Each structure stands twice: as structure tokens, then as C-alpha cells.
Amino acid sequence: MIRRKSPLSPLLQRGEPSRQYGFGHRVSCLASPFAKGGLRGIFFLLVMLLGNAAMAADFTIGYLQLQNDPRYSSKHTFAQYLTQPLGRPYAGAQVALKESKFHGSAVGAEFKLQQVKGKDNADLLAQVDTLSKQGVHFFVVDAPAATVAELAAATKGKDILLFNISARENSLRQAQCQAHLLHVIPNYAMLSDALTQYLTVRKWGKALLLTGASPEDVQLTESFERSAKRYGVKIVAKRIFELSNDPRHRSQNNVALLTSEADYDVIFVADTDGEFARGVPYQSVKPQLVVGSEGLAAMAWHWAWERHGAPQLEKRFEKQAGRPMRDVDWAAWLAVKAIAEAVQRSASTDFAKLRDHLLSDAFILDGFKGKRLNFRPWDRQLRQPILLGTHNWVVERLPLEGFLHQTNNLDTLGFDQRDSNCKF
């Protein structure tokens, strides 16, 4: 991943994301110069050769995303659903890059981000392959679960580490887990465990479960069912909602009907999209609280968190992005920070050394949530406190006092070693 900086290389490395995207294309050119335009490919080769002649070393981190990702459609981000992104998280990685200007100084490395926008999974994979051949080992991956799984499976056994920053699906940590796939974003099991711990302490022991039918919603629902069983919350009824106005389906699309004829303390809405969930509060038959995807939600980050230096990070992010920071932004930030931390601590740019340190118990990451964070060895999930937030406040940080674990209380959230089906 070390590349030499030349007077020409800033043309390729710096500047707007769109320019970096252009670089992505040049990479493709290099991969198949005759197919896509030989001259540009040759120009690029020339730049690479000149580049190798000069002084300070760049440490390039790949940043992968899809050109079309429905999670970031303008309609979706405009709606500001409680648990959904407000925009692409690349700004988080940029903030981390600025924070890391001293981390590489001992080894003379300067961190750079290489943003790659893939047309589809195959295109992303091809570009990863190209960058990997150029010595890039670390990739921040902002993609839906299916893409993450495909990328991870295809890069297995290579000198690569992938940092999943936006796919919360449990399956990626269980059956589809990979030794080189690290998860910075919490999984659904961690989020629902956090929320359920809180329900338990509040003695809100009866939940009405409303769930969508999408595969993502099913994963979230299964997570909540698992947590409810674990912490003794009773699910009094499970009802499938439908986002429609069809009067023939009113028992599924009408919140009043969905929430009638049951005795419950809270309504848990499992809606990974958010559009249905936002309409549930104040529409239920009973005045009970809404939790899950609306009302009170478990999150990796919340702009209103005011301890552990969080306001300073939030300020830096908002300056960069012009909007509040959400989970995925935080995860993008922390993924880059993790790589910088590894370089600083191991005083090396050697991939094997960095990987070993990142995955070791000695690894300490500062997520601005007060606890030292590191990766669980059994499924590569980053253990971390979870915040329980409303639209404008953080009600609690989890795990709550009294939820104890034999080695690390953070492991009361999500898949502990004995719950893990992951086999590398």
C-alpha cells in the first residue's frame, strides 16, 4: 500500500471525490488498457513510474461504495428516519484522515483515501483486485449486506482487510463471516440486546412486535425475538405490517388495527426502511411507547451524545459534511481511525504486523463512547457501547450497570463467543 509521492501524484490522489472516481476509472484502464482506452492507461503507467521515484510514502486506504445504493437515495435521506443515514458516510472517513496526520509520522507514512464507486458488485470486485495489486490492503466497505458478503467471499485468503461500515445483518457475523471481514457497525443482535436490556430495567416486559416482510426486517425481527428470550421480555403478539393504503389490507396497513386487541407495554417496530415506522407513534390504539425503528432506537452514534469528547467529533463531522453524524458516518470514521491506530502502535506499514495488531487483545480504539473498543476474535465484530436515542436525545448508554459478563461487559451485547456460529 505504500506508494511514493511525486509532483504528479496529487493529481490522482487529491481533489474532489469525483476526481478520485476518475482515478478509479484509470485503475480499470490499467487492468484492461486495450479494452477501455490505451492512451490513458499508458499515461497512468507513466505517472506510476514517475511517482515511484520520489520521496514521502503514501499509505492508501481503499473506500468502496456502489454508485446506486438505495439506502442513500435522496428521498430516503431527506426523510431522516431515526435509524437511517442522512447521506453517504464518506465524510466520516475524511474527518478521520484529518485526525490522523500524526499517526503515520514515525514511519513516514501519509494516509490517503482512494474512493471507488462501483457500478455493481463485479465492478467493485475488479477495482479491489486492481488496487490490491498496487499494494492497497485496507478497504472501507460501504455496501449492502449482499455486496459485502460477495466481496468478502471473493477476496478470501488475500492480504486484504475489509471494514464493513454499514451492513448490520447478523448473517455477516454468523454463517457468512470471514476472517478478513471486520465489522465496525454494530449488528442487529447488539442493537436489539441493548434496547431489550433497557426494557428489562424499566420493567416494560410485554412487547407488541410489528414487523415488515423484507429479508432485512426478518433479520431485525429475529434479533429482537432472540433478545426478548434472552432478557425475559414477552412478545405478546407478532404482526406483519404492510406499507400500503389498500382498504382490503387494512388489518396490515392501519396502525390502529395493528395495535388493537393486545396487552403490551411497548410497541417494537422492526422496519429497516423506516417509512412505515415513522407513522406508528401517536397512531396506536393505546398510548404505549414505540421502540425499535422509531421512538426509542438503539444506535452506534447519536449527534446529541455529550460525553467522552463526542461533541468535538460531532462538530468536526458537521463542519465536513454539513449535517449531523449518523451510525454509518461514525463507522466510516472509526474504520479509518482503526487503520491509523494500528500503524501508530505497531510503528510499521507491514500488512501482517498491522493485521495482527488490529485483531489482537492489545488493540485499543477510541470510539468517543468512553470504553476502549476492539474486535471480537470469534466473529470480528467491534465490541462497543450502544446508545439508546430519540430524535434529539440520548436516553442511555448500554450495557447498563448490572448487566455483567465474565470478561468484558460489552459482550453482553450481541453474539458472545458461545453464541457464535462463525467458523473462519
Partner 1 sequence: MKYLRPLFALPLLSISLLAASPAFAKDTGYIFVSSEKDNNISVLDAKTFEVVKRIGTAARPRHLQFSPDHSKIYAACGDGAAIDVIDVAKLELVDRIAGIEDPELFDISADGKTLYISLEDDGALGILNLDEYFAKRGEKPDLSVAEPAPPGETSEAEDDNADDEEEEDGDAAAIPGLKTVEVGEEPEGILLSPDGKTAYVTSEVANTVHVVDTASGEMKANIVVGNRPRRFALTPDQKELWVTNELSGEVTIIDPATNKVTQSIKFLPKGFRAEDVTPVGITMTRDGKTVVVGLGGSNHIAFVDVASHEVQDYVLVGERAWNVVLNRDNSTLYVANGLSDDISVVDVASRKVTKSVPVARVPHTVLIDD
Kindly tell me which of 221 and 346 has the beta carbon lying closer to partner 1.
Answer: 346
Residues paired with residue 2 on neighbouring β-strands, in sequence order: 59
Q: How near is the Cβ of 372 to partner 1 at its closest, in Å?
A: 5
Rounded (10°) angle between helices 90-99 and 310-321: 120
Q: Is the dihedral of CA 237, 239, 245, 249 positive or negative?
A: negative
Among 17, 87, 99, 125, binds partner 1 (CB under 8 A): 99
Q: How near is the Cβ of 92 to partner 1 at its closest, in Å?
A: 14
Between CA 167 and CA 188 the distance in angstroms is 9
Residue closest to 408 by CA, chosen among 369, 359, 375, 367: 375
Q: How near is the Cβ of 298 to partner 1 at its closest, in Å?
A: 20
Query: Number of H helices and number of E strands within the chain?
Result: 15, 16
- Note whether 101 binds partner 1 by CB under 8 A: yes
- Note whether 98 binds partner 1 by CB under 8 A: yes
Residues paired with residue 142 on neighbouring β-strands, in sequence order: 65
Among 108, 232, 309, 402, binds partner 1 (CB under 8 A): 309
Q: Give the single-character DSSP code of 178.
A: -
Neighbours of 176 (CB within 10 A): 18
Residues paired with residue 296 on neighbouring β-strands, in sequence order: 291
- Note whether 103 binds partner 1 by CB under 8 A: yes
Kindly tell me which of 107 and 235 has the beta carbon lying closer to partner 1.
Answer: 107
Q: Which stretch binds partner 1 (CB under 8 A): 45-53, 196-204, 263-271, 366-374?
A: 366-374
Between CA 141 and CA 67 the distance in angstroms is 13
Q: How near is the Cβ of 9 to partner 1 at its closest, in Å?
A: 24
CB-based contacts of 99, cutoff 8 Å, min separation 6:
316, 337, 340
Q: Which stretch binds partner 1 (CB under 8 A): 7-15, 77-85, 193-201, 344-352?
A: 344-352
Among 32, 244, 260, 312, binds partner 1 (CB under 8 A): 312
Among 35, 49, 153, 364, binds partner 1 (CB under 8 A): 364
Q: How near is the Cβ of 189 to partner 1 at its closest, in Å?
A: 21
Q: How near is the Cβ of 101 to partner 1 at its closest, in Å?
A: 7
Residue 128, C-alpha cell as written in the block: 479491489
- Note whether 316 binds partner 1 by CB under 8 A: yes
Among 22, 33, 324, 370, binds partner 1 (CB under 8 A): 370
Q: Please list the alpha-helical segments (H only) found in 289-398.
A: 310-321, 327-346, 351-358
Residue closest to 14 by CA, chosen among 111, 139, 137, 118: 111
- Note whether 229 binds partner 1 by CB under 8 A: no
Kindly tell me which of 390 and 408 has the beta carbon lying closer to partner 1.
Answer: 408
Question: Residue 373 is which amino acid?
Answer: L
Among 117, 371, 380, 397, binds partner 1 (CB under 8 A): 371
Residue 240, C-alpha cell as written in the block: 406483519
Between CA 134 and CA 2 the distance in angstroms is 9
Q: Which stretch binds partner 1 (CB under 8 A): 248-256, 275-283, 340-348, 415-423?
A: 340-348
Residues 185-214 that bind partner 1 (CB under 8 A): none
Q: How near is the Cβ of 312 to partner 1 at its closest, in Å?
A: 6
- Note whether 34 binds partner 1 by CB under 8 A: no
In the block, cell 390502529 appears at: 256
For 81, 135, 281, 359, the CA distances from 291, given in Å and listed in that order, are: 13, 45, 9, 34
CB 317 within 8 A of CB 292: no
Q: Which stretch binds partner 1 (CB under 8 A): 84-92, 96-104, 134-142, 153-161?
A: 96-104
Q: Which stretch binds partner 1 (CB under 8 A): 39-47, 166-174, 227-235, 343-351?
A: 343-351
Residue 227, C-alpha cell as written in the block: 433478545
Considering CB under 8 A, how many residues would be counted as binding partner 1?
24
Q: How near is the Cβ of 33 to partner 1 at its closest, in Å?
A: 41
- Note whether 366 binds partner 1 by CB under 8 A: yes
Kindly tell me which of 292 and 385 has the beta carbon lying closer to partner 1.
Answer: 385
Q: How near is the Cβ of 335 to partner 1 at its closest, in Å?
A: 15
Kindly tell me which of 19 and 357 has the beta carbon lying closer to partner 1.
Answer: 357
Residue closest to 209 by CA, chosen among 184, 192, 194: 192
Q: How near is the Cβ of 62 to partner 1 at its closest, in Å?
A: 23
CB-based contacts of 416, cutoff 8 Å, min separation 6:
405
CB 64 within 8 A of CB 140: yes
Q: Which residues bind partner 1 (CB under 8 A)?
A: 98-103, 105-106, 309, 312, 315-316, 341, 344-345, 347, 364, 366, 370-372, 408-410
